[in-house]
Amino acid sequence: MARTAKLTFDDRSIDLPIVEGTEGELGLDIGKLRSGAGLITLDPGYGNTGSCTSEITFIDGEKGILRYRGIPIEQLAKHSTFVEVAWLLILGRLPKQAELDDFRERLGRNAPLHEGFKHLFEGFLADAPPMAVLSAMINAIPCFPHTSRDDESPEERAIEDAARLISKVRSIAAYGYRRARGLPYLYPDPKLGYVANFMHLMFSCPYRQHEASPEMVDALNLILLLHADHEQNCSTSTARMVGSSQANIYASCAAAVGALWGPLHGGANVAVLEMLESIHKGGVSAADAIKMAKDGTGGFRLMGFGHRVYKNFDPRARILKAAADKVLAQLGVKDPLLDVARQLEEMALKDSYFVDRKLYPNVDFYSGILMRAMGIPTNMFTVIFAMGRMPGWIAQWKELRDDPKARIARPRQIYTGPNETDYVGIDQRG
């Protein structure tokens, strides 16, 4: 028997269906609320509102659980790769060896950018914000020809489109890094895997190819894999919103890049480094930072802390903290910012302000320290986040577009402006 909730308002009473997820989550289906009770809901920030049902990612914020297609993130972090996780998220299951090989071949084939992109990059100043460049270039991808086979099945076409976007975003990110430094653009090396090719495109010189160490490749694979999806976060909801108008995947992901850029979302990894650096350089002490975060001085927040869903440790933060320790030790790097981060974490987790509000380190708290150790400049941290999130945006956009019942997203509002009033000519306005 389907469960319902009864809503009584004035002289009306309606039964609204309860939707139960496979992990026991309950949602109130308000599809008939307006017609049945003349009401809409109001939930700024959507803290209590589900936009969809989804089979892709499950988060239990109270327990700090994150699973991609049911597989715990800890197992994927230990056994999988970014490319395999991308296939898992988009196609809904782990790939067989032949499927993974095919996906890797498509990623390699799609790595080169059309020569026309060089003119686009040259149109930006060297200090253009990398996220602005990334968003613009993603929109430009379909402006250039793409040879795809006509006999491909819808699934093969989806894999090709995903490979094209995931692969070209890597080349675009690397080209943006080189443009900013006046370095010549390089061509992808078809012999290299996804991450090693990225590091080649970023760090090679025309006369000496960069040999990324296995430790570095593993570390960046882990960072990308951990960022690959996170259910209906701000940027993914943006990709779904744009996709719901039947805009193409490139326009939808370009819009998602814009949402991710914000310091409350993916831009937090940059803000965390800036915060740690200001503490380290003596701008403020760790205790000052904690105090300012508690007082909300000038809107100051402990960047990399807190989360809309996690009210426990973000499992990705735990994994990245351990990886930062390991990679810095492998590199023989002593980064004082890691010590500052640990000090902040220890102080915050003992402070009732953070404990009472269940504010814990999130994915952005340690990721920047790891990327900095790998030689990735701070202003590219959110670009790396976008590279990692691309499979999630694609998977979520595809889930929406494959849903025959999907409708264009068009929220309602409660109007609080002036009631009807007449126009007043300019000469009567006093």
Contact 260, 235 (CB under 8 A): yes
Window 41 to 60, contacts with ligand SDX (CB under 6 A): 45
How far apart CA 26 and CA 67 sit, in angstroms, is: 18
How long a stretch of residues is the chain? 430
Segment near ligand SDX (CB under 6 A); pick from 105-113, 362-370, 375-383, 405-413? 362-370
364 is catalytic: yes
In sequence order, what DSSP letters do the residues of 265-286 get, joined into one string? TTTHHHHHHHHHHHHHTTSS-H
Site string for ligand SDX, 202-231 (x = CB under 6 A): ----------------------------x-
- Does position 291 bind ligand SDX by CB under 6 A? no
Distance between first and last Cα of the chain? 66
Catalytic residue among 200, 227, 230, 307: 307
For 22, which DSSP code?
Answer: T
From the list 95, 130, 243, 306, which residue makes contact with ligand SDX (rule: CB under 6 A)? 306
| 210 classed as catalytic | no
Does position 238 bind ligand SDX by CB under 6 A?
A: no
State in angstroms the smallest separation of the CB of 260 from ligand SDX: 8
143-172 footprint of ligand SDX as x/- string (CB under 6 A): ------------------------------
Task: Among 217, 268, 374, 380, indicate the residue that binds ligand SDX (CB under 6 A).
Answer: 268
107: nearest Cα among 43, 171, 151, 22: 171
Q: Which residue is nearest to ligand SDX (CB)?
A: 306
- Could you say which of 178, 308, 311, 326 contacts ligand SDX (CB under 6 A)? 308
In whole angstroms, how close is the CB of 364 to ligand SDX at the nearest point? 5
Q: Which is nearer to ligand SDX, 64 or 266 (CB)?
A: 266
Please pick, from the candidates 176, 304, 315, 368, the single residue that binds ligand SDX as defined by CB under 6 A.
304
Q: Name which position in 26, 143, 205, 264 contacts ligand SDX (CB under 6 A).
A: 264
Dist CA 380 CA 122 (whole Å): 18
The answer to whether 14 and 7 are in contact (CB under 8 A) is: yes
Q: Please, which residues have CB within 8 angstroms of residue 348's CB and are 6 or more apart in sequence? A: 290, 293, 302, 305, 354, 359
Query: HSE (CB half, 13 Å, CA atoms) of 10?
Result: 5
Question: Whole-angstrom Cα distance, residue 430 to residue 426?
Answer: 8
Q: Judge whether 26 and 20 are in contact, CB under 8 Å.
A: yes
Q: Is residue 301 close enough to count as binding ligand SDX by CB under 6 A?
A: yes
Tell me if 358 sits within 8 A of 201, measured CB to CB.
no
Among 32, 34, 93, 357, binds ligand SDX (CB under 6 A): 357
- Residue 6's φ and ψ, nearest 5 degrees, are -100, 130
Chain residues binding ligand SDX by CB under 6 A are 45, 230, 233, 264-266, 268, 293, 301-309, 357, 359, 362-364
Catalytic residues: 307, 364
